[in-house]
Amino acid sequence: MSYNIIIFDLDNTLIQTEDIKLAIFAHLKKIGLEDKVIKHCYGKAKENEEGENTFTLNHFAGELQRETGLAIDMPMEMFTHEHMQVAGAKAALAACTESGKPTYILTLGVPEWQKEKLGLVGLDAFVRDAGVQLLITTDVRDGKAKQIEELVKEHGCDEGDGMLLVNDKPDETERLLEIFPKLHAYVRREKDDARYSEAQFAKLSDHERVAGVSETLEALLPIILSS
Ligand SMILES: [Mg+2]
C-alpha cells in the first residue's frame, strides 16, 4: 500500500497526554482537592455546550477557583517532560517528511494549549524545521472530518485514497474510516488509557484498512518507509 499523505493526531498519538492529565490531577489531589471536584471542574473546562473543545490550564484553574474559592497555581512545567513523547514519534515524523510526503498534525483543542504541549515535550522546533503542518480544530464532533475533507480536495485524494491517519481514539478512527472509504489508519494504543476497551482496539485491528495497532510508533516506521 502506498501512502502519500500522512496525518498524525497529537494527543496520545505523538505525546502522552494522559500522563500530563494524570500529573495535573495528582498535583491537585496533593494540595487537598477532592477527586470528585477535580473531575467535575475538568469536565466543565474541557468542552462547552456548543461542542467546542475549550481546555487550557488557565480555564481549568478558573473552573476550580469558581468551585472552591481557591486560586490554584498550575505551572505547566510541573507536569510535562520530554519523555512524554511517544516512542518513535520523531522518527516516524522524520521518515514522512524526509521522503517528501506532505505531513500534518491534525489536532483537536485550543491552539494555545496544543502549541504549549508541543513545546514542553520538545517537539515544536522539530515539527517546524521538518516542515510538518499543524492543523488545529476546536470542533469536537466534526472538526477532524472537515479538515481531512479540505486535505482530500487540496491533494486530490478521492475518498481519502493514499492517506494514512495515525490516531489513538478507536471510536473516532472508526468514524473517519467510514466517512472516507479509501482512508487507511494506524492506531496508537496507550495501554494505561482507561477510556477505551480491549474490544474496541481488537475490532479495529481486524479492519481491512487498519495498517497496525501498537503502543508505540516504532512499528509505523517500516510501513512509511516501504510505502
Ligand atoms: Mg488523540
Tell me which residues have their CB within 5 A of the ion that is ligand 1. 9, 11-12, 168
Cβ-based burial of 167 (10 A; exposed 0-12, middle 13-18, buried ≥19): buried
For 68-126, the pLDDT digits (tens) are 999 998 887 777 776 789 999 999 999 999 999 999 999 999 999 999 999 888 899 99
- State the distance from the centre of ligand 1 to the C-alpha of 220, rounded, in angstroms: 16
Specify the CATH number for 5-16+85-226; select among 3.40.50.300, 3.40.50.1000, 3.40.640.10, 3.50.50.60.
3.40.50.1000
Percent of the chain with pLDDT over 90: 84
pTM for this model (two decimals): 0.94
Question: Kindly report the CA angle at 107 between 101 and 113, in degrees rounded to 5?
Answer: 130
For 50-82, the pLDDT digits (tens) are 999 999 999 999 999 999 999 998 887 777 776
* Residue intervals in the chain for CATH 3.40.50.1000: 5-16+85-226
Does residue 76 contact residue 107 with C-beta atoms inside 8 Å?
no
Cβ-based burial of 126 (10 A; exposed 0-12, middle 13-18, buried ≥19): middle
Q: Reduce the DSSP state of residue 113 to 3 states and report it.
A: helix
The stretch 13-22 carries a mean pLDDT of 91
- State the distance from the centre of ligand 1 to the C-alpha of 168, rounded, in angstroms: 5
